[in-house]
């Protein structure tokens, strides 16, 4: 049984850019200076998501907001934990 030869789809053909400088991959990124720390932004989002969830009746949208709030709080806690200074372990005194 012979396999058909691969064809270039319309999506692949339309994504080709003759001028690489105009490619979406080289488009200038919109950068902005953050005025709050990551932990502050995560906590603020979690709080606003919980407030919005309180205003909703029980259902899928409310559960999704509560899940996102919990994820943001966990991410904030992990970020705090990972950025904490490292202390030497007990019993590893080689001085």
24: which DSSP letter?
G
What residue has token string 């407030």?
51
CA 1, CA 38: separation in Å to the nearest integer? 57
Per-residue pLDDT of the chain (95 residues; tens, 9 = 90+): 555 555 455 445 555 556 655 666 677 877 888 888 888 999 999 999 999 999 999 999 999 999 999 999 999 989 888 888 886 667 655 55
CA 75, CA 40: separation in Å to the nearest integer? 11
80-83, long-range: CB < 8 A, 24+ apart:
80/39
């Amino acid at each position: 049984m012979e396999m058909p030869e691969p064809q270039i789809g319309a999506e692949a053909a339309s994504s080709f850019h003759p001028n690489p400088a105009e490619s979406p991959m080289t488009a200038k990124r919109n950068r902005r200076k953050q005025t709050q720390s990551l932990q502050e932004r995560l906590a603020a989002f979690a709080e606003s998501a919980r407030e919005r969830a309180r205003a909703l009746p029980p259902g899928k949208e409310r559960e999704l907001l509560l899940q996102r709030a919990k994820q943001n709080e966990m991410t904030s806690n992990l970020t705090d934990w990972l950025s904490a200074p490292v202390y030497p372990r007990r019993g590893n005194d080689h001085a």
